[in-house]
Amino acid sequence: MDSIIIHPRDKKEFLFFVELAQRLGLEINTTSDVIDAQLLADMEANKKTGYVAKEKVLSTIQNILNEQKTDYKNED
């Protein structure tokens, strides 16, 4: 399936293209629709991963914050 991306100049032009697509019987997805669908897919995938206790996450973050930080050295 091919796609077309249209960048309307304003809300009025956006609504014009939405109505045109609907009248032509075409499927239309806005960028927010696509982002929402991807977020839902990611959330569903994450439901299948293992559980990590809040305390373990906080402990790991604290360990990272407490690690010795090495100075950045520009080799150039």
**Placement of tokens 């075409």 in the chain:** 26
Structural domain count, the chain:
1
Asked whether residue 44 is domain-assigned, the answer is yes
Asked whether residue 42 is domain-assigned, the answer is yes
Asked whether residue 22 is domain-assigned, the answer is yes
DSSP state of 49: S
8 A C-beta contact, residue 28 and residue 21: yes
- The better pLDDT of the pair 9, 1 is held by 9
Structure tokens at 33: 């629709």
Instruction: For residue 72, name the pLDDT band (cuts at 50, 70, 90).
Output: low
What integer pLDDT is reported at residue 73 of this predicted model?
A: 61
Structure tokens at 21: 């697509």
pTM (2 d.p.): 0.47
Asked whether residue 6 is domain-assigned, the answer is no
Asked whether residue 76 is domain-assigned, the answer is no
Asked whether residue 2 is domain-assigned, the answer is no
Asked whether residue 51 is domain-assigned, the answer is yes
For residue range 13-69, list pLDDT tens digits in order: 999 999 999 999 998 888 888 899 999 999 999 889 888 899 999 999 988 888 866
Q: Which helix (H) or strand (E) holds 31?
A: helix 31-46
The whole domain housing 39 covers 11-65
